[in-house]
Amino acid sequence: MYTTELSLKSAQMQQEVSKWNSLLSKEQARVEQESTAYQGELQKESARIQQEVSAYTNELSKEQARVQRDTGNFSSQLSKETSRIQQESGNYSAELQKESTRVQNELAKYNANLQKKITLYTTIISKLSTDYQWLQGQYQIVKQELGEFMMPYTAPGVTDSTVERVRR
- All structural domains of the chain with their residue ranges: 13-153
Over range 107-130, report the average pLDDT.
Answer: 94
Q: What is the spatial distance between Cα 38 and Cα 31, in angstroms, rounded to a whole number?
A: 10
How much is the pTM?
0.41
pLDDT at 163 over 60: no
H-state helical runs in the chain:
2-150
Rounded Cα–Cα distance for residues 40 and 33 (Å): 10
Q: How many CA atoms lie within 13 A of 134 on its CB side?
A: 6
Rounded mean pLDDT, 116-130: 94
- pLDDT tens-digit map of 13-26: 899 899 999 999 99
The answer on pLDDT for 168 being more than 70 is no
Residue 152 in this model has a pLDDT that exceeds 80: yes
* Mean pLDDT along residues 67-85: 94
Decide if 150 contacts 162 (C-beta within 8 A).
no
Q: What is the predicted pLDDT for the residue at 157?
A: 56
User: Residues 114-136: what's their mean pLDDT?
Assistant: 94
Q: What is the pLDDT of residue 158?
A: 53
Per-residue pLDDT at 161 exceeds 80: no
Tell me the average pLDDT across 110-139: 94
Q: 135-152: string of b/e by CB count within 10 Å (b at 16+)? A: eeeeeeeeeeeeeeeeee
Q: pLDDT at position 125, please? A: 94
What is the rounded average pLDDT of the residues 139-150?
91
Q: What is the mean pLDDT of residues 143-149?
A: 89
